[in-house]
Structure 1
Amino acid sequence: MENNQEAGDALVRQDGANQSRRNVLKMTATGIAGLGVAAVATSPAVAQTRLTLTDKWDKVFPKSDKVDHKKVTFTNRYGITLAADLYQPKGVSGRQAALVVCGPFGAVKEQSSGLYAQTMAERGFVTLAFDPSYTGESGGEPRNVASPDINTEDVSAAVDCLGLQPNVDRERIGVIGICGWGGMVLNAVAVDKRVKAVAASTMYDMTRVMSKGYNDSVTLEQRTQTLEQLSQQRWKDAEAGKPAYQPAYNELKGGEAQFLVDYHNYYMTPRGYHPRAVNSGNAWTITTPLSFMNMPILTYIKEISPRPILFIHGENAHSRYFSETAYAAAAEPKELMIIPGAVHVDLYDNLEKIPFDKLTAFFKQYLA
């Protein structure tokens, strides 16, 4: 998910574009993660209908012979066309329960979300893993910008897409969000009453970490300085006629915290590297954090009830507190499952750590 050094040391005055970018990244971030520049050929956001989709299997996980797979596209409420992978269990007839899968923040559907989607399809669900607006193979200009509002809408638009599939039961749709999309899906499900159950795996609350830093360590003075920098960056982008981008994500220089090394070991090695992923050595726009800084996405988490929430987190994850505080704020029915010995990125792709049996039982119970 993201590369943030210590949240508190991310604030410095603007003394040069490179230094400014580095400082904004440290504090706001979390390492939002970063797809480089345009990964697909699209027209401006006003007419997102033609996407260039690859035909080859370019996932970071092997293709299963137990499911059928195809590329699909759909359009969100803002007119942005999104690209997705639809996975369907072979040899199953009738209308099935279905799952939208998304995340991590700054990743693409060829990584963790695709792995989760394919695995849950093997277990009997129709699943959809998608690239968020402005990233991966999805549409939207400029490239590599995020928004808590638009990304929340992306989740509901994916529900629209699933519900239009002839073999999907609209009354049995659930959602899985990974890492930063764990918080996004909780926000989406709070308002989208069509979703019957939701799971958040190794979750981040992106609005919390960008506005307050890790462990809520950012002071008001630091926050104000960062907002000053971001505000001034808008003048630079306006003058240039295009956005500037943060430094590349998940490149190590030495001395980083272990969780940043863990991110690198997923996103920048054959284990999880994908050229379209923001986190795989690409970058978000510098001003991406602006809309996250004053929009707490978990404000209405209690309104998910009476629909169930399953939180899954690693025992040794630096991000564990996000799930614990979200769990405390949520209403019943809810469950928090802690995976012994697991760190944050173990729940991206470690098949010995990801509790697929639990996810299967959870959704079979509540999407029955």
Structure 2
Amino acid sequence: MNALTRKLTAAMPAMLLCASLSGVTTMSYADTSNPNAPVSMIDKWDKTFAESNKVNHRKVSFQNRYGITLVGDLYIPKDRGDRKLAAIAVNGPFGAVKEQSSGLYAQTMAEQGFVTLAFDPSYTGESGGNPRNVASPDINTEDFSAAVDFLGLQTEVDRNRIGILGICGWGGMALNAAAMDTRIKAVATSVMYDMSRAMGHGVGDGKDRYTTADRHAVLQYLNEQRWKDAENGTFAHGGHDIYVDEKGNVTASERILPETLPADPHPVLKEFFDYYRMPRGFHERSVNSTGAWTATTPLSFMNMPLLSYAKEITIPTLIVTGENAHSRYFAEDAYKAVGSKDKALIVVPGANHVDLYDNVAGKIPFSQFKEFFETRLK
């Protein structure tokens, strides 16, 4: 590992969570005349976790307020009978797909008696939107509200008992949605990232990394990329591992997670690699597993803070993080900012960030998620 690479991996910026579908040619739009059509509606079980015999599962699609078609997996307890149940929309981590952590959370919570929906955000996975692999604080917050739209129309769901759960970077989106959408009755996050803060101020060791001068240098770098994209007529990918040296020079990596781990990798890099690049969590449609976002994705996050109205969140709020999670400070600060009088912060002993993606044996506190939603979605 050379000195620059060591600096880049040690800095651990926000977009370590991100990777790309560039070069993947196995997927195509179902309707090539409509760029907002879903990429696919694959019926086979292609998840990174085993299928439960306690729930029924079906593939669904719905549109958000911008006309983008979203594709999701709906999980319903087999013992529902004719009861209308409380429902939970689940998404995340940032750059993941519904076949990974969000699907695991959704299926497990369905086993606990809820109707659940794990869905791919706009521009990613099986959902529509063009160009591919771009994120937006506005549109992705809207995606949560669109999921609430969908759940509220299902015969199995009591629309007055809908909650949302955001994992990793989707934790911040979930809190933003909860501050805006009055139909959401309870919100939970797991190892949350505030992506606006992460992209706009850099992920450090428990604190923001960028100075004001660094922010300006990153913005200048990203806006120069806009000229290149405009000249080329395409959107470049990569460049999210952004490092600003002491002279203000900006360097970005071409991809986030390498094909193989370097010698002596940063521990957090290894966490993500061991999930997204290994059979444990790899999925071909996951941005994190296969490359990078569009290079200019951070721009809108950098000056649109997701948690601006966190103090206006009045609904029950549960924030879960890991004792050893590098993202822990995001969760702790969000907990302080949330205005609800009914809020709780759970720090899972011994857990790192990625433990709460799929470690069902001893890390993900599903019993506490169940108790929270069960009592708050009465």
Instruction: Compute the TM-score of the two structures, normalised by the length of structure 2.
Output: 0.88
User: CA separation in 2, counterparts of 1:343 and 1:201?
Assistant: 11
**Who is 1:168 aligned against?**
157
Q: Give the RMSD, CA atoms, in angstroms.
A: 2.1
- The answer to which of 174-183 and 40-49 deviates more is 40-49
In the TM superposition, what are the counterparts of 1:126-165 in structure 2 within 5 Å? 126-165=115-154
Structure-2 change in CA distance of 1:47 and 1:260 (3 Å): closer
Query: Match of 1:297, as an amino acid?
Result: L
Residue by residue over 1:2-35, the C-alpha shift from the partner in whole angstroms, topping out at 9 and shown as x without a partner, is xxx99x966xxxxxxxxxxx9xxx7863324123
Question: Residue 220 of structure 1: CA displacement?
Answer: 1.2
Unaligned runs of 5+ in 2: 239-253
**For 1:187, what is the secondary structure of its paired residue?**
helix
**Does the 8 Å contact 1:76/1:153 carry over to 2?**
yes
Moved over 6 A (4+): none
**Who is 2:56 aligned against?**
68
In the TM superposition, what are the counterparts of 1:191-340 in structure 2 within 5 Å? 191-214=180-203, 215-246=207-238, 247-251=254-258, 252-305=261-314, 307-331=315-339, 332-340=341-349
Query: Match of 1:249, as an amino acid?
Result: I
Question: Residue 49 of structure 1: CA displacement?
Answer: 3.7
**Does the 8 Å contact 2:36/2:130 carry over to 1?**
no
**For 1:280, what is the secondary structure of its paired residue?**
helix
**Does the 8 Å contact 2:12/2:268 carry over to 1?**
no
Taking only the aligned residue pairs, the percentage that are identical comes to 57
Question: Residue 357 of structure 1: CA displacement?
Answer: 0.5
**Please, which of 21, 25, 30 is the counterpart of residue 15 of structure 2?**
30
**Does the 8 Å contact 1:176/1:198 carry over to 2?**
yes
Residue by residue over 1:301-348, the C-alpha shift from the partner in whole angstroms, topping out at 9 and shown as x without a partner, is 12111x110010100111100000111111221100010000000000
User: CA separation in 1, counterparts of 2:224 and 2:50?
Assistant: 45
Question: Residue 255 of structure 1: CA displacement?
Answer: 4.0
Report how many residues are paired: 349
Unaligned runs of 5+ in 1: 11-21
**Does the 8 Å contact 1:40/1:137 carry over to 2?**
no
Question: Residue 47 of structure 1: CA displacement?
Answer: 5.5
In the TM superposition, what are the counterparts of 1:64-143 in structure 2 within 5 Å? 64-92=52-80, 93-143=82-132
User: CA separation in 2, counterparts of 1:309 and 1:36?
Assistant: 34
**Please, which of 341, 345, 351 is the counterpart of residue 342 of structure 1?**
351
**Does the 8 Å contact 2:15/2:256 carry over to 1?**
no
Would you say 1:185 and 2:195 are equivalent positions? no
